[in-house]
A and B are shown apart, each in its own frame.
Chain A
Amino acid sequence: MIEISHVNKWYSPTFQVLTDCTTNVTKGEVVVVCGPSGSGKSTLIKCVNALEPFQSGDILVDGTKVNDPKTDLPKLRSRVGMVFQHFELFPHLKIIDNLCLAQEKVLGRGHDKAQTKGMQLLERVGLKEQAQKFPAQLSGGQQQRVAIARALAMDPIVMLFDEPTSALDPEMVSEVLDVMVDLAREGMTMMVVTHEMGFARKVANRVIFMDRGEIVEDAAKDDFFGKPRSDRAQKFLSKILSH
């Protein structure tokens, strides 16, 4: 579903942020990406839907090359859901309109159909009653669930998450993770940057560990948690699990 091969990216001639990153995410797979701050996790995941350009290598999403200038990027992105660390709901639109905007303007769905779909998804994330409110009136956890619903409204073939719970107060983390776990169990293809190892243990198929722009470890979940091969991953794991 996502094929990343030999991706290199520089932010400036002297600063290489991604070095020869290669990995695959197959259909229905849940891949967790972790690693220390500044290791390039966000950058890598943003390359997948071409929010960030990269200088060499290839990324294919469902067979479409994202770094091909001829690719219709808006169309491709409309099929790839993305959830951000800081939610990024549109503050000037009501919750329901946040869910309908792209359905109507990108997919060309009629207003009624988009509303129906939006309400279904709000119900699914447990926020049907909030439909007429504005984002600022919701808690962080609620906003992030709306953001997930907004992405799902586009019927994505794959979902990308960039630290979806790290901006949340601790007591709101689980309500968001629950939604993500359900999604994973329903067979959604997911690439998730997170430090929530509980989530990884529960639903991940594979774990990728990044450090200084490189994919240091790319292993099946049990292998990763059982005994990471690299020193750096071991150190990282022991640090994060001791919390």
Chain B
Amino acid sequence: MFGNLDFDVIRRALPYLFYEGMTFTLTLTGLAALGGLIFGTALALMRLSGLKLLGRIAGVYVDFMRSLPLVLVIFWFYFLVPYIGQWVTGAARPISVGAFASSLITFIMFEAAYFSEIMRAGIQSISRGQPAAASALGLTYAQTMRYVVLPQAFRNMLPVLITQTIVLFQDTSLVYVLSITDFLGAASKVAQRDGRLVEMYLFAAIVYFTISCIASYGVRRLQARIAIIR
């Protein structure tokens, strides 16, 4: 079976796979992780604010997002955003949002639900004496969060946050449903064009595997270092 495989097709496709595909995948992963962390932290703060309504809204949002398959969200969002945009701005026709913007917003909204649970656990892991000490020094609630609670929550949760980002990195391949040229999309296009499905999908698997493995190894190193500081 492996006799008539042509691995040279990979070499020829490398520039395309990495310059276009991987660049897109990494950009999407990075921006979605950043946006998801910010939005997720906001959701976590809402849930811990003690304000019933605010907490309820954030809770429903998180539960809703976590009970939907990601592919469905990507798909729906892509087709809905133009109409939502039209409705919000009152434009005559559906707003056209590029596939990149659409998938980025989707991932931010989806990942925020997961990041918010991580940050919530991180905030709750900090003893109540810390915010008390910050308040006693005269810091406002916002300053207490900004300078005392969130930096510690973030640091304590960093390994989990990165692990979630590795999952996100793999999940970004789902944008294939929008025919976007991410890394997997690029590999798949070459595979179809040259009729080299086995080679290309094998190569794609190896690349995802390698990157995820290296990142996981980094996380374990990081965990060990954090344990020393504390």
| A77 CB → nearest B CB, Å | 5
Residue on B nearest A49 in the bound complex, by CB: B136
Q: Cβ of B148 < 8 Å from any Cβ of A? A: yes
| B158 CB → nearest A CB, Å | 12
Q: Which of B15-23, B112-120, B127-135, B198-206 contacts A (4 or more CB under 8 A)?
A: B127-135
Contact, CB under 8 Å: B138 / A106: yes
Contact, CB under 8 Å: B230 / A77: no
The verdict on A136 contacting B136 (CB below 8 Å), with A84-B129, A101-B147, A105-B147 known, is no
Q: Which residues of A contact B147 (CB under 8 A)?
A: 101, 105
Contact, CB under 8 Å: A150 / B137: yes
Contact, CB under 8 Å: A88 / B129: yes
What's the Cα separation between A102 and B155 when bound, in Å?
A: 21
Q: Cβ of B164 < 8 Å from any Cβ of A? A: no
Q: Cβ of B229 < 8 Å from any Cβ of A? A: yes
Number of A-B contacts (CB under 8 A): 66
Q: Which residues of B contact A (CB under 8 A)?
A: 127, 129-130, 132-140, 143, 147-148, 151-152, 155, 229-230
Q: Which residues of A contact B134 (CB under 8 A)?
A: 90, 102
Contact, CB under 8 Å: B137 / A154: yes
Contact, CB under 8 Å: A74 / B132: no
| B222 CB → nearest A CB, Å | 15
Q: Which residues of B contact A74 (CB under 8 A)?
A: 135, 138-140
Contact, CB under 8 Å: B132 / A78: no
What's the Cα separation between A89 and B148 when bound, in Å?
A: 10
Contact, CB under 8 Å: B135 / A91: no
When the two chains form the complex, which single residue of B132, B140, B152 contacts A91, counting CB atoms closer than 8 Å?
B152
18 additional A-B pairs beyond A49-B136, A76-B138, A86-B127, beta carbons within 8 Å, are A51-B132, A51-B135, A75-B138, A77-B135, A77-B138, A80-B136, A81-B136, A82-B133, A89-B133, A90-B152, A91-B230, A92-B151, A92-B155, A101-B148, A105-B147, A136-B229, A150-B137, A151-B136
